[in-house]
């Protein structure tokens, strides 16, 4: 009688392929159940802290909790403030020292938001 060694055969590859697909399916099913559970939650109050809510529910929604810092975190960026200060520097200079603080702020606001208006548009106040 001949004995066949199926170790390292096509069947091992098939078993590995099935195991990988089952793991992916289980992960997808788990993720879907987690999202469905989250969507079934009652909304938090307007004055409640969403970060605190997520911290309290992190064990229940472990996969979703990993996304919280990315989407609920505040990215500090000073570029917009630097642009405003730069515009203020162009508006308030040696020639325009007589502008009041209020008027200088208004001119800066208009200059900052001018790009929101289509070109060749007359703005009336």
At 87-118, the pLDDT tens digits run 777 777 766 667 777 887 787 777 777 777 77
The mean pLDDT of the chain is 77
Residues 69-96: what's their mean pLDDT?
A: 72
pLDDT per residue as tens digits for the range 51-62: 899 999 999 999
Determine the pLDDT at residue 118. 73
Domain borders along the chain are 10-72, 79-116
The shares of helix, strand and coil residues in the chain, as percent rounded to the nearest 5, are 60, 0, 40
The answer to whether the CB of 84 falls within 8 A of the CB of 112 is: yes
The pTM of this model reads 0.42
């Amino acid at each position: 009688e001949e004995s066949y060694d199926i170790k390292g055969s096509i069947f091992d590859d098939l078993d590995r392929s099935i195991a990988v697909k089952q793991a992916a399916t289980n992960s997808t099913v788990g993720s879907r159940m987690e999202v469905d559970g989250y969507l079934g939650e009652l909304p938090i109050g307007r004055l409640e802290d969403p970060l605190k809510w997520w911290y309290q529910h992190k064990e229940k929604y472990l996969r979703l909790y990993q996304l919280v810092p990315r989407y609920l975190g505040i990215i500090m960026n000073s570029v917009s403030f630097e642009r405003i200060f730069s515009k203020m520097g162009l508006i308030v200079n040696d020639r325009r020292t007589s502008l009041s603080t209020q008027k200088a702020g208004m001119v800066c606001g208009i200059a900052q938001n001018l790009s929101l208006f289509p070109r060749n548009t007359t703005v009336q106040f």
